[in-house]
Amino acid sequence: MRYLFRPPATDGAALLSLPFHLPLEQWDPELLLEVPQRGISRHVVRFTAQGGHVYALKEIPEPLARHEYALLGQFEEEGLPSVSVLGICVDRPDGQDAVLVTRYLEYSMSYRYLFSRPHGEHSAEQLLDTMVVLLVRLHLAGVFWGDCSLSNTLFRLDAGAFTAHLVDAETSERHPQLSPGQRRYDVDLARERVGAELLDLQFGEMLPAYVDPIEVADSLPVRYEALWEEVTREEVFALAEQRQRVAERLQRLNDLGFDVGEIELVTDPEGGARLRVETRVSEPGQNRRELFRLTGLEVQERQARRLLNDLRAYRATLEQKLGTPVPETVAGYRWLAEAYQPVVEAVPADLAGRLAPAEVFHEILEHRWFLSEKAGHDVGTTRAARSYFDTVLPRTPKELTTPSAIVGGRD
Amino acid sequence: MASIEMRNIVKQYGDGFPAVNDVSLDIADGEFMILVGPSGCGKSTLLRMIVGLEDITSGDMIIGGKRVNDLAPRDRNLSMVFQNYALYPHMTVYENIAFPLRLAKMPDDEVRRRVTEASDVLELKDHLERKPANLSGGQRQRVAMGRAIVRQAEAFLFDEPLSNLDAKLRGQMRTEISRLQRRLGITTVYVTHDQTEAMTLGDRVCVLRKGKIQQVASPRELYEQPVNLFVAGFIGSPPMNFLPAHVEGGRLQTPFGSITLDERRAAAIQGRDLLLVGIRPEYFEDASLVDEAKRPLGSLFRARVDVTEWLGDSQYAYIPYEAPEAIRNQLRDLSRELDAEELRTQAIVSIDATSRIREGREAEFWLDARKVHVFDPQTGENLTRDAEAGARLTQMATEDRVEQVHEAQAQGTTVGGGGASRAGAA
């Protein structure tokens, strides 16, 4: 047998003791982890926890495994939202298929969960928009998915909004640029898959009556086209309004979750201008990087923006109290130790792992605002956290608990 | 159903490399056409241009008499079969087949009619009310096929559909696809790199090399009357042997003795010097086992056997031979291009399973000279190809196909083919 692992290889080393010589279906259940949040797969997929991390193992033919391993590696390096690949095991005895190992996307949610109980803010439309953002992002990067479906997409909460991640790249292809035919084919396929997956939920009596699978599926190509047009169109305007139009366009792209690369502005003698922006595929990561620099926390972009705002407020309060300027790195350290960590560490053990710590912190900030409004004065984070743990967090179902928290609790 | 015509199709990428170079190909209504060749020959690109995934640089793509170059994939009404199909656990087999029609908001009775029709052909009738969890591998693939059938597409397209299946299921599916295509009589384009798949499935096979068509013919014509060294070497397993040969007085002098050709072939190589003679493994035999009556039709030679391979029902002997360096290089290039491993300076000859010829010893062989071909080593051209005989073979295959399609239509097994069943189609 041969193992191929991407760095850090220590993660891979933890998996070497697993019985890769046996078909996954014959593995001792003791080694495996039940993960309820699952889509539909054509292959045998199992989950295992090693060293506090959870991994997904998928049995597929070697050429497909190598292909997917290489592609997912590329995606990760380029900052495309996809699961992170760890390695493959090939040359297994008796001509068995290869095993592809990916890191489980912690705190992710499957469509089965999200669609079967959509509430107010998590509407079907919102989920579909999130998925369309992912598809547009992939297409901009020259990735033909070839299998875009809800089963192959995982959703994560990011300060109340959703982000979507690609889970399965088995059939994906990388091109310098996609042809219109390739994009349309991918979108048609996605429409059909989404429709079928929602119909399936309907047959399984898991879809709320007000969600119409066909209507939702039919809206996908429309949403896609609108977004594609929005991020790729060339704009023509009068030179006089140049400044405002460029700023508006960039703001709009940022709001949609896209980063902007080069801007090309071509003017003509008649006083008109043509604006072409190169929309980047990666998510804007400015806040993420900033928060990481100051605190070492790795969270998603919107969460980072939220946390940074709190950090800045904390610093201002600190400066006021001390009557002297506080360097931002010092503020970062103290905020982490005095504001953030006490709150996330106070999550009751039986509720741990239901939401990512940064999401919990975000929700507590929301809750604090809500309580303060009602009380007519600031109730403070500690009281807000206590109330949140008592009344809000328990409403997040236990089945959403991320697998590594379950494993952690067992140790 | 529809015919597919390609007129001077070119696909050029940004770097100017022509992945498909001036391809003209007519696929008849109801025909099973295979696109085959080693990796990089352009077969998948061609299929993608039919589907609409790749833009066509120049030329015309005509489906059912309509130019489709600028149509979106969906508007071409073609069906890529098995392409990463998924089965939905809460839906019955019936609904798993029907859902594309549901999404198209087709009336229930039309859905029922189409699914029933398809499930009859697919022999899934008894499983329609079940959930897919308990279906066998083959039945799952048939459900995927059912989805394609109910759409009443103009044609089925397959892109290496079996390459990731295990050997057993692959064989099973090959038979299944072939049987279904015959019963449905639907135009089918099938891409593969596997010449065995090509030979067993297709009415006609289009062999591609570096973006250009080499030959389009029935499997038998390709096998018996290849146009060039490339086709001759690609089609057949084990492959055709190529021996260096000199022309001397109308006879070919080879490492395996001299070969006398009939008048037609002798005339074709007149005035040539160094040539390559192509001999299929089964044109050889253990001399001691050849009928007295057959003996004079071929020649005898003695050679030392390197290895023998006994497979129960058949047996192969490997005989090394000497070749001038120029020829060796040529053959090395050819096997590299064909993705083949062996450097062909040893002949693979088929001998009767009962033959007592043993490895390491010298033995006498008989060589049937009637079917050998002679190639120009420079251009690769088959100098002795009998175009008329080849055309007759392909004609026979065409007649067989037409007859089978008529039979299927008479039995009413074609789906969406006849006027009446076409009524519901968009």
Interface of B with A (CB under 8 A): 14, 51-55, 72-74, 83-92, 95, 99-100, 102-103, 105, 163-164, 166
Asked if A225 and A239 sit in the same domain, the reply is no
Asked if A239 and A227 sit in the same domain, the reply is no
Task: Band the pLDDT of B419: cuts 50, 70, 90.
Answer: very low
Q: Would you call B91 and A200 a contact, using CB atoms and an 8 Å cutoff?
A: yes
pLDDT at res. A120? 52
CB-closest option in B72, B85, B92 to A181: B72
> Does residue B303 lie in a domain region?
yes
Cα–Cα dist A236/A155, whole Å:
36
Asked if A180 and A259 sit in the same domain, the reply is no
Cα–Cα dist B158/B167, whole Å:
18
- The answer to whether residues B72 and A181 touch, using CB atoms and an 8 Å cutoff, is yes
Asked if B207 and B333 sit in the same domain, the reply is no
CB-closest option in B99, B103, B164 to A61: B164
Provide, as residue numbers in chain B, all residues whose Cβ is less than 8 Å from the Cβ of A144: 53
In Å, how far are A72, A141, A315 from A79, measured between CA atoms? 10, 11, 31
Q: C-alpha dihedral over A262, A266, A267, A273, to 10 degrees?
A: -70
Provide, as residue numbers in chain A, all residues whose Cβ is less than 8 Å from the Cβ of B84: 42, 146-147, 170-171
Cα–Cα dist A272/A341, whole Å:
54
Cα–Cα dist B249/B252, whole Å:
8
Provide, as residue numbers in chain A, all residues whose Cβ is less than 8 Å from the Cβ of B83: 146, 171
Task: Band the pLDDT of B412: cuts 50, 70, 90.
Answer: low
Asked if A238 and A182 sit in the same domain, the reply is no
How far B106 CA sits from the closest chain A CA (Å)?
Answer: 12
* Interface residue A222 vs chain B (CB under 8 A): no
> Does residue B228 lie in a domain region?
no
Among A70, A103, A136, where does a domain finish?
A: A103
Task: Band the pLDDT of A136: cuts 50, 70, 90.
Answer: very high
Task: Band the pLDDT of B14: cuts 50, 70, 90.
Answer: confident
Asked if A251 and A293 sit in the same domain, the reply is no
* pLDDT reading at A18 higher than 60: yes
DSSP secondary structure code for residue A32 in this structure = B
Among A65, A85, A103, where does a domain finish?
A: A103
For tokens 């079940």, the residue is B130
* Interface residue A188 vs chain B (CB under 8 A): yes
Percent over 70 (pLDDT), chain B: 95
DSSP secondary structure code for residue B381 in this structure = B
CATH number at residue A9: 3.30.200
* pLDDT reading at B325 higher than 90: no
- Global pTM reads 0.85
pLDDT tens digits for range A314-338: 998 899 999 899 999 899 999 999 9
* Interface residue A151 vs chain B (CB under 8 A): yes
Chain A residue whose CA is closest to B97: A196
pLDDT tens digits for range B81-117: 866 678 999 999 999 999 999 999 999 999 999 999 9
Spell out the residues 6+ positions from residue A403 whose beta carbon is closer than 8 angstroms to its own: A33, A35, A47, A49, A54, A104, A106
Mean pLDDT of A176-205: 94
Q: Would you call B86 and A149 a contact, using CB atoms and an 8 Å cutoff?
A: yes
Percent over 90 (pLDDT), chain A: 50
Which of B50, B71, B84, B97 should be substituted to probe chain A, the one whose Cβ sees the most A Cβ atoms within 10 Å? B84
pLDDT at res. A37? 61
Mean pLDDT of B156-163: 89
Asked if B246 and B142 sit in the same domain, the reply is no
Asked if B210 and B294 sit in the same domain, the reply is no
Determine whether A329 is exposed, middle or buried from the number of CB atoms within 10 Å of its CB (0-12, 13-18, 19+). Answer: exposed
Give the amino acid at B360. Answer: G
How many domains are contained in chain A? Answer: 4
Give the residue among B331, B371, B308, B368 at the shortest CA–CA distance from B233.
Answer: B331
Please report which helix (H) or strand (E) contains residue B198, including its range: helix B195-201
Q: Would you call A203 and B91 a contact, using CB atoms and an 8 Å cutoff?
A: yes
Chain B residue whose CA is closest to A172: B84
Provide, as residue numbers in chain A, all residues whose Cβ is less than 8 Å from the Cβ of B73: 181, 184-185, 188
Q: Would you call A40 and B86 a contact, using CB atoms and an 8 Å cutoff?
A: yes
How many domains are contained in chain B? Answer: 2
Asked if B53 and B124 sit in the same domain, the reply is yes
CB-closest option in A149, A184, A203 to B90: A203
Asked if B329 and B242 sit in the same domain, the reply is yes
Among A103, A129, A155, where does a domain finish?
A: A103
pLDDT at res. A267? 79
pLDDT at res. B351? 93
Q: Which has the minimum average pLDDT: A256-260, A287-291, A303-307, A347-351? A: A256-260
Domain span including residue A7:
2-103
Task: Band the pLDDT of B235: cuts 50, 70, 90.
Answer: very high
How far A42 CA sits from the closest chain B CA (Å)?
Answer: 7
Mean pLDDT, chain A, rounded, equals 87
Asked if B211 and B80 sit in the same domain, the reply is yes
pLDDT tens digits for range A365-384: 999 999 999 999 989 888 99
* Interface residue A63 vs chain B (CB under 8 A): yes
pLDDT at res. B131? 92
The token pair at B308 is 């023998």
Asked if B348 and B254 sit in the same domain, the reply is yes
How far B55 CA sits from the closest chain A CA (Å)?
Answer: 7
pLDDT at res. B341? 66
Task: Band the pLDDT of B417: cuts 50, 70, 90.
Answer: very low
pLDDT at res. A111? 86
Residues belonging to chain A? 411
Asked if A41 and A121 sit in the same domain, the reply is no
Cα–Cα dist A216/A202, whole Å:
13
Give the residue among A388, A129, A144, A77 at the shortest CA–CA distance from A256.
Answer: A129
- The answer to whether residues B225 and B386 touch, using CB atoms and an 8 Å cutoff, is yes
Asked if B201 and B245 sit in the same domain, the reply is no
pLDDT at res. A187? 97
CB-closest option in B84, B88, B100 to A146: B84
Higher-scoring residue by pLDDT: A16, B341: A16
pLDDT at res. B83? 63
pLDDT at res. B418? 40
How far A61 CA sits from the closest chain B CA (Å)?
Answer: 6
Q: Would you call A176 and B89 a contact, using CB atoms and an 8 Å cutoff?
A: no
Q: Would you call B164 and A180 a contact, using CB atoms and an 8 Å cutoff?
A: no
> Does residue B232 lie in a domain region?
no
> Does residue B328 lie in a domain region?
yes
pLDDT at res. A254? 78
Q: Would you call B51 and A204 a contact, using CB atoms and an 8 Å cutoff?
A: no
Q: Would you call B74 and A151 a contact, using CB atoms and an 8 Å cutoff?
A: no
* Interface residue A181 vs chain B (CB under 8 A): yes
Chain B residue whose CA is closest to A212: B103
Which of B45, B48, B53, B143 should be substituted to probe chain A, the one whose Cβ sees the most A Cβ atoms within 10 Å? B53
Asked if B316 and B216 sit in the same domain, the reply is no
Determine whether B39 is exposed, middle or buried from the number of CB atoms within 10 Å of its CB (0-12, 13-18, 19+). Answer: exposed
Domain span including residue B263:
237-384
CATH number at residue B155: 3.40.50.300
CB-closest option in A151, A199, A214 to B105: A214
Mean pLDDT of B256-267: 90
Higher-scoring residue by pLDDT: A316, B419: A316
Tell me how crowded residue B321 is: count the other CB atoms within 10 A of its CB: 15
CB-closest option in B54, B74, B89 to A188: B74
The token pair at A77 is 């390096």
> Does residue B392 lie in a domain region?
no
> Does residue B393 lie in a domain region?
no
Q: Would you call B99 and A195 a contact, using CB atoms and an 8 Å cutoff?
A: yes
Mean pLDDT, chain B, rounded, equals 89
pLDDT at res. B393? 92
Mean pLDDT of B357-378: 92
Q: Would you call B54 and A192 a contact, using CB atoms and an 8 Å cutoff?
A: no
Provide, as residue numbers in chain B, all residues whose Cβ is less than 8 Å from the Cβ of A176: 14
Rounded to a whole number, what is the largest CA-CA distance in chain B? 77
Task: Band the pLDDT of A13: cuts 50, 70, 90.
Answer: confident
Asked if A291 and A240 sit in the same domain, the reply is no
Determine whether B298 is exposed, middle or buried from the number of CB atoms within 10 Å of its CB (0-12, 13-18, 19+). Answer: buried
Provide, as residue numbers in chain B, all residues whose Cβ is less than 8 Å from the Cβ of A193: 86
Cα–Cα dist A84/A134, whole Å:
16
CB-closest option in A60, A184, A206 to B73: A184
* pLDDT reading at B47 higher than 60: yes
pLDDT tens digits for range A29-39: 999 988 876 66
Cα–Cα dist B317/B357, whole Å:
8
Which of A200, A214, A215, A225 should be substituted to probe chain B, the one whose Cβ sees the most B Cβ atoms within 10 Å? A200
Asked if A305 and A353 sit in the same domain, the reply is yes
The answer, yes or no, to whether the previous bond of A8 is cis (omega within 30 of 0) is yes
Provide, as residue numbers in chain A, all residues whose Cβ is less than 8 Å from the Cβ of B55: 179-181
Mean pLDDT of B225-253: 91
Among A156-160, A394-398, B380-384, top mean pLDDT goes to B380-384
How far A239 CA sits from the closest chain B CA (Å)?
Answer: 34
The token pair at A103 is 């890191």
Provide, as residue numbers in chain B, all residues whose Cβ is less than 8 Å from the Cβ of A40: 86-89
Q: Would you call B74 and A217 a contact, using CB atoms and an 8 Å cutoff?
A: no
Asked if A97 and A173 sit in the same domain, the reply is no
DSSP reduced 3-state for A367: helix
Asked if A259 and A274 sit in the same domain, the reply is yes
> Does residue B230 lie in a domain region?
no
Asked if B119 and B155 sit in the same domain, the reply is yes
* Interface residue A64 vs chain B (CB under 8 A): yes
Asked if B195 and B241 sit in the same domain, the reply is no
Asked if A297 and A395 sit in the same domain, the reply is yes
pLDDT at res. B386? 93
Asked if A194 and A141 sit in the same domain, the reply is yes
Asked if B250 and B328 sit in the same domain, the reply is yes
Cα–Cα dist B44/B190, whole Å:
9
Higher-scoring residue by pLDDT: A275, A169: A169
pLDDT at res. B422? 34
Determine whether A191 is exposed, middle or buried from the number of CB atoms within 10 Å of its CB (0-12, 13-18, 19+). Answer: buried
* pLDDT reading at B6 higher than 90: yes
Mean pLDDT of B155-159: 93
pLDDT at res. B342? 60
Determine whether A29 is exposed, middle or buried from the number of CB atoms within 10 Å of its CB (0-12, 13-18, 19+). Answer: exposed
- In A269-405, the DSSP E strands lie at 272-280
Cα–Cα dist A48/A32, whole Å:
5
